[in-house]
Structure 1
Amino acid sequence: MFMALAFGGGADAPPISDPGEAVRYGLPAAKLIVNLGASVAIGALVLACFALTRDEPAWNTTIDIASAGAAVWAVASAATGFLTFLNVYQQPISTDPAFGRVLSQFITGTELGMAWLITVLIAAAVTALCFAVRHPTAVAFVTVLAVAGLVPMATQGHAAGTAGHAAAVNALGLHLVFAAVWLGGLVTMTLLQRRLDDKRLVTVLSRYSTIALLCFVLVAISGYVSAALRVGELDALFTPYGVLVIVKVLALLALGLIGMVHRRWIISRLASGASRGLFWWLVVAELGFMGIASGVAAALARTATPVAEEIVVFTPATMLTGEPLPSPLTAMSFLTEWKFDVLWTMVCVMLAFFYLAGVWRLRRRGDKWPVLRTVSWLAGLALLFYVTNGAPNVYEKYLFSVHMLGHMVLTMMIPVLLVPGAPITLAMRAIRKRTDGSRGVREWLLWAVQSRYAAFLTNPIVAAVLFAGSLWLFYYSPLFRWATTEHLGHQWMIVHFLLTGYLFVMVLIGVDPMPHRAPYPMRLLLLLATMAFHAFFGLGIMMGTGLLLADWYGAMGWGTDALVDQQTGGGIAWSVGEIPTIILAITVAISWSRNDDKVTRRLDRKADRDGDADLNAYNDMLAQRAARDEAEDATHDPARR
């Protein structure tokens, strides 16, 4: 790291206001320790969730490793935040009360200080929770919290506040998460191997190797995107920043080669009884290259990028969004304008790849999978890719109507295509069941489907309320401003509306397993009520006379009437949003009819097998009841006696 800092000039004294050599070298060193501590915590937790069982001794050891990593992460984050303050404040440490007031203002009143404060708090919480919980489900929630601790770190970087901020944050977020899982998993395997016998070591190592392969692919892709944003032209590769990027790429390629050797040779040799010496040689080499990559990454964060500073023309759009207005919106713009998002691109690609891999595994063993389900799933992912990377992603910041179009596609059209794909059913059939008590992807999916959380969320009334009620709550609360003006809020919006739409459609026409299914009359009733609720929402926006975000959409500088555009968005919510609802109503009606036919045929087949025993028994019961009633009447009627 120190060599990289010296080469790239990341620790050189600035010509004005030098914070001191201790800060210039201490800050990247502290960030490196932050990355290592976070990696150990997250990697150990992921390994516990997907590779180990609760009953084996290695489980507790792994959680202890995660706790230690989180503690280092918390302390190093506090030190990094303090050094960052010194780097900005550029005054010596003092016991003067004014120094404390300025430090407090930095921590609680600036975006940079708040980011490190949140990181410290999350890391401290993960440390405490690792001591307190040991149940697999609780550990899974702690893992999610630990991954969330990387979000504030992802929002900081060279591209913050520039035109490439959104793409850089998503690329850096992917890079941090999967690099942490990769590095932390390897460190944990190194510390854990003495607690595992030879057979168990092979099993756990194989599972880690699969995770590491996925991490390698995502780290490589996200790293490429991040480098492309910061390096710019190919000529910039010959600058100090570009050379450091090349060194990091070479270290990454070496790690990929070592991982391939692990998968193809070492694991099979260990399974056949070979000595663990081979394992140690490759682990040491892999840790060495990971150390190089981590040190260079810490230096890159302090090295000036070769991308020239753009001359910003201050317009309302650039002041609000940090980016200039895109080209005027035309019909062709919906096909020609693209703004790629590496996060959602990888989500779509991975979901398509694993789905097709599951179909291929079924066909290879002789099982069938409906082609229409595959087509429906891939069409839904293609539409998700377009919404998150195409024209809706380009214009939704500037035009409310395009924002509403993207919203309707996310919450209504995409789920109508994804749900019939039955991904949970495919996973249950294609993924091998584990027999050692650990939880793989199949086991976690099965837990999610059978949990009380799923039972609550898939309750038809709850799903309908979440689907329809969130429309009003979102647009008539501060959530709309947060999702429009903040990158993290925008990502939350995509996930929220995609999930609420998926839950609602699954309750209506889903074929995947659920805790309970509503009867068809209730499904139609809920759908009709939701249609009415949705229509009132669209009409309410169409007829509105006030802008929802007047200081955003009304100040963007398009040269068009923002209120008219908002009313157009209401029309889109009413018209475009109703089309999938009608399709759902037709599908529910057809499914109801087919279900009745299926029940009738089943009863007919049963009657053919047993000679209509149920009907004969029912008739006999009626005859006996009639005879009994007649006997009782004769007993009480003297004339009949």
Structure 2
Amino acid sequence: MTLLAAGLSGGLAPLGVPGLPDPGVVTRVALPTVQVLRDLVAMGAVGALVVAATCVPPAHPGKDENMVRGVRGRLVLVAQLCATAWVVADGALLALVYADTSGATPRQAGFWNEVVFFARSYELGQYLLWGAALAAVVAVGSAVLQRTPTLGLVAAIALVALWPIALTGHAAGTLNHDDAVNLQMMHLVGISVWFGGLLAVALIWRQLGPSLSSVVRRYSVLAGWCLVLVSASGLAGAWLRLPSPGAVWSYYGALLAAKVGAVACLAAAGWWHRHHVIDRLDRLDRTGQKADIRGEGGAGKGIGGVFARLVVVELVVLAGAAGIGVALSRTAPPAPAGGQEPLTTAQSMLGTAMPPMLDAAGWFTRWSLDTLFLPIAGGAIAWYLVGVRRLRRRGVAWSWLRTASWVTGWLLFIWATNGAPNTYGRVLFSMHMVQHMTIATAVPTFLVLGTPVTLALRTLRRRTDGSRGPREWLLQLVHSLPAQLLGHPVVASALFVVGMVAFYYSSLFETSLEAHTAHVLMTVHFMASGYLFAEVIVGDDPGLQRPPYPLRALLVMITFGFHALFSVTLMSSSRILAEVWFAALGRDWGDTLAGDQYLGASIGWGMGEYPLLVMAIALLISWVRADGRERRRFDRREDRENGRQLAQYNDYLRQLSAAGKQSSPPTMTSSGETTTKESSG
């Protein structure tokens, strides 16, 4: 499928660039073939780990249920084999990609030394190298893991390992590079969990026994969400790549249409699967026909055959869709009607055109949507509101202040990552500082006041068969050793302050302006460190051990004092941060680099005040409420014990008074010694 699609669209033809030698037909054919194999084994590894961590119950529920054995162990073995093949495929791709871009062949002298240089010095080679390294971590982790918490960690690393593939995907070469990479990552996550999970279920369904119905239903829910993710990200990515609606009639548009058709067929199969196969499995499960589910006779034989055929058809269609995606990576999208104009320096650096001069209205009207953080924020708000509605339907009260705090925090996050701070954050240091302070201080404070963990624990469904769903993994996370360590008051404060100083006074700041991956990591770090610090100070969710209230108040003053000191130091500094980047943009409006940096440092100082005020008010209210709760607990205990502690305290005071009457005040002798006279009275 891949070779046929790439051949029809011209993806296997020589590039025909003057002065660049042709690597040969072997390289042109082997490259897409190895790439599709790499994608398939990556999906297999991700899907097997996710299904094992979220859908499959333990081999012995209630006894050693944290041990990875039985069906879970088989899936982990599958993931290990797929991850090992993933490493080998990425290594082969490294050589093939270099041969394809340089026109060299492995038979030439010094070819492999050049491949090593390509992997260390060029972005494309570095992406493939990082992908192989992360896949190796997944393979080794799958080989050594024995407990379920480690299984969850390895599954998370496998999902992260898809990021280098997104950076080299067919959508990563557009002008809007960052948005294209974000959409490609969502697409990969959805298709990997979908395809790999289906492969995992196909491999183990005969060994599941009575758990087959519940496992298939849980996977079906995952597949449904993956369908939404794949469809939305695919359509948005196509909109970025196609210059006009008429471009759908090109070869590239035909490949996109074929991929959309494959997803539509899978959606129809999934609907039939959920409304027929799963319902029949449930009926067999309720009637006790456990053996028949595996196809040993009777009605079970029919359902087993239908289930197997449906899985095979879905796997074939999914593999075909993956092959079409690889063919798209080898096919150039149609050019605009007027031809592609040369990119300016700002366009090549920013991925978009230089924004106009920022005015007062631009703070609210300049928007550049971020395809990664906008869906995350929107999904977080929707989940919270659905959870509150579910509680109210059960008659459980939930504070409207918590809801307002959560929504306010995410709205601020949307503005910081999609509004003017995102539009100008890589052009003006002052707007970058607005974005940083909003994400690191204001947003986490409001989110913590929303107590999301408490809401999740009250609304998420508890599983009783030993498998781990969202509620169980959330409890595992908040009580884990890394969470306790990072949530320690000293560590959280150090991450909040020292991390910021290290970021700006090193090359990390300029790297975050140049590379999309570094920018995403920067945002995640600021958000996470700010959330941990706010949780230590004003949080009310279970999990962390918080210090007494006087120490919390002292910690707030010390931390924000260091934060203010950093801003003042930056204001008085003559060194321009990321000077090479800002100067190369060629901005011909606004303040000078030195003046804009001074403004940014002033904003950093000033914008630390209103989150501090919100945090201080919340801390004071929480302190007063805690004292009130302690006083009420004491009163209730005294009522139950008929004032026992108060009577003991009064007896203690009477004993002190009696002891004082039995002795007179000490007197000084001529030698300087003190004596006490016993009273005769």
| 2:330 aligned residue (285, 290, 302) | 302
Structure 1 equivalent of residue 626 of structure 2: 595
Among 248, 256, 261, which residue is 1:250 paired with?
261
Q: CA deviation at 1:236?
A: 0.5
Matched, 1:110 2:122: yes
Matched, 1:41 2:53: no
Instruction: Answer yes or no: is 1:11 the counterpart of 2:41.
Output: no
Q: Distance in 1 between matches of 2:520 and 2:535?
A: 22
Q: Which residue of 1 aligns with 2:606?
A: 575
Q: Within 1, Cα distance between the matches of 2:257 and 2:500?
A: 47
Matched letter for residue 188 of structure 2: L
- Residues 230 and 307 in structure 1, CA contact (< 8 A), matched pair in contact too: no
Deviation at 1:92, TM superposition (A): 3.5
User: Where does residue 78 of structure 2 map in the other structure?
Assistant: 65
Whether contact under 8 Å (1:225, 1:342) holds in the other structure is: no
Instruction: Rate the CA distance shift 1:620–1:26 in 2: closer, same or farther, 3 A.
Output: same
CA deviation string 1:240-273 (max 9, x = no partner): 1001101101111221222222333321210111
- Separation of aligned partners in 2, 1:119 and 1:278: 38
The one-letter code of the counterpart of 1:580 is: P
1:75 alignment counterpart: 88
Q: Which residue of 1 aligns with 2:495?
A: 466
TM score, norm. by length of structure 2: 0.89
Q: Which has the higher helix share?
A: 1
| 1:550-569 equivalent positions in 2, closer than 5 A | 550-559=579-588, 560-569=591-600
**What is the aligned partner in structure 2 of residue 546 from structure 1?**
575
CA distance in 2, matches of 1:24, 1:638: 109
Aligned residue in 1 for 2:288: none
> Using the alignment, how far apart are the partners of 2:561 and 2:135 within structure 1?
46
Distance 1:63 1:74 in 2: 16
Give the letter aligned to residue 311 of structure 1. E
Runs of 4 or more, structure 1, over 6 Å off, are: 625-633, 636-639
Q: For 2:482 and 2:135, how far apart are their aligned partners in 1?
A: 26
CA drift of 1:126 comes to 1.9
Counterpart of 1:213?
A: 224
Q: Deviations over 1:146-201 (max 9, x none)?
A: 2222222211245546531111111111111221111100001000112110x201
The aligned counterpart of 1:22 is 26
For 1:310, the aligned partner's letter is: Q
Q: Name the residue aligned to 1:290.
A: 318
After superposition, the C-alpha distances for 1:219-253 in whole angstroms (9 at most, x for unaligned) are 11111121111112110001010011011011112
Alpha-carbon distance in 2 for matches of 1:307, 1:348: 34
Counterparts of 1:114 and 1:433, CA distance in 2? 43
| Closer, same or farther: CA 564–46 of 1 in aligned 2, 3 Å | same
Q: Name 1:194's counterpart in structure 2.
A: 206
Q: 1:638 to 1:165 in 2, by over 3 A?
A: closer
Q: Which amino acid aligns with 1:279?
A: F
Deviation at 1:442, TM superposition (A): 0.8
CA contact (8 A) 1:8 1:241 kept: yes
Deviations 1:531-576 (A, max 9, x none): 2111112222222222111112234322331110110001100111
Farther off after superposition, 223-232 or 402-411: 223-232
Q: Which amino acid counterpart does residue 565 of structure 2 have in structure 1?
A: F
Question: Following the alignment from structure 1 to structure 2, what is the Cα–Cα distance between the partners of residues 100 and 75?
Answer: 16
Q: Which TM-score applies when normalising by structure 1?
A: 0.94
Q: Is the 8 A contact 1:458 1:514 kept in 2?
A: no
Q: Hey, what's the Cα distance between the residues in 1 that align with 2:46 and 2:35?
A: 16
Contact 2:94 2:115 in 1 (8 A): no
Distance 1:9 1:606, change over 3 A: same
> Residues 502 and 265 from structure 1, CA distance in 2 versus in 1: closer, same or farther, beyond 3 angstroms?
same
Unaligned runs of 5+ in 1: none
Task: Name the CA shift for 1:261/1:358 in 2 (closer, same or farther; >3 Å).
Answer: farther
Distance in 2 of aligned mates of 1:593 and 1:545: 46
CA distance in 2, matches of 1:12, 1:220: 30
Corresponding position: 1:428 with 2:457: yes
Matched, 1:130 2:130: no
Q: Unmatched 5+ residue regions in structure 2?
A: 60-68, 285-299, 665-675
Deviations 1:345-402 (A, max 9, x none): 2211221222222223222333222222122212211221221111211111100000
The letter for the 1-side match of 2:113 is R
Q: Counterparts in 2 of 1:402-441, with a 5 A limit? A: 402-441=431-470
| 1:169 alignment counterpart | 181
2:36 corresponds to which of 32, 35, 57: 32
Alignment: residue pair count: 636
- Of the three residues 149, 154, 170, the one matched with 1:142 is 154
| Equivalent residues of 1:419, 1:506 under 8 A apart | yes
- State how far apart, in whole Å, the 2-side matches of 1:639 and 1:459 are: 56
Amino acid at match of 1:13: P
CA distance in 1 between counterparts of 2:36 and 2:241 reads 20
| In structure 2, C-alpha distance between the alignment counterparts of 1:587 and 1:452, rounded to whole Å | 27
User: Which one of 416, 425, 435 corresponds to residue 387 of structure 1?
Assistant: 416
Tell me which amino acid in the other structure corresponds to 2:22. D
Contact 2:421/2:435, CA 8 A, preserved across alignment: yes
From 481, 484, 490, the equivalent of 2:513 is: 484
Q: 2:305 aligns with which of 271, 274, 277?
A: 277
Q: Cα offset for 1:530?
A: 1.7
2:276 and 2:363 map into 1 onto residues whose CA distance is 49
| Contact 1:67-1:127 within 8 A present in 2 as well | yes
Matched residue SS, 1:229? helix
RMSD: 2.3
1:612 maps to what in 2? 643
Q: Name the stretch that deviates more: 153-162 or 116-125.
A: 153-162
Deviates more, 1:318-327 or 1:546-555: 318-327
Secondary structure (helix, strand or coil) at the match of 2:578 reads coil
SS of match in other structure, 1:342: coil
State the distance in 2 between where 1:3 and 1:161 align. 23
Bigger mean CA offset, 216-225 vs 356-365: 356-365
Work out whether residues 162 and 323 of structure 1, in 8 Å CA contact, stay in contact via their aligned partners in 2. Answer: no
Alignment-mate amino acid for residue 508 of structure 1:
I
- Is the 2:662–2:679 contact (alpha carbons within 8 Å) kept by the matching residues of 1? no
**Offset from partner CA, 1:306-325 (integer Å, 9 cap, x none):** 1436322544x245434431
Amino acid at match of 2:152: A
- 2:217 partner letter: S
322-331 vs 249-258, which moves further: 322-331
Q: Which moved more, 1:338-347 or 1:365-374?
A: 365-374
Asked if 2 retains the 8 angstrom alpha-carbon contact of 1:41 and 1:65, the reply is yes
C-alpha distance in structure 2 between counterparts of 1:206 and 1:319, whole Å:
47
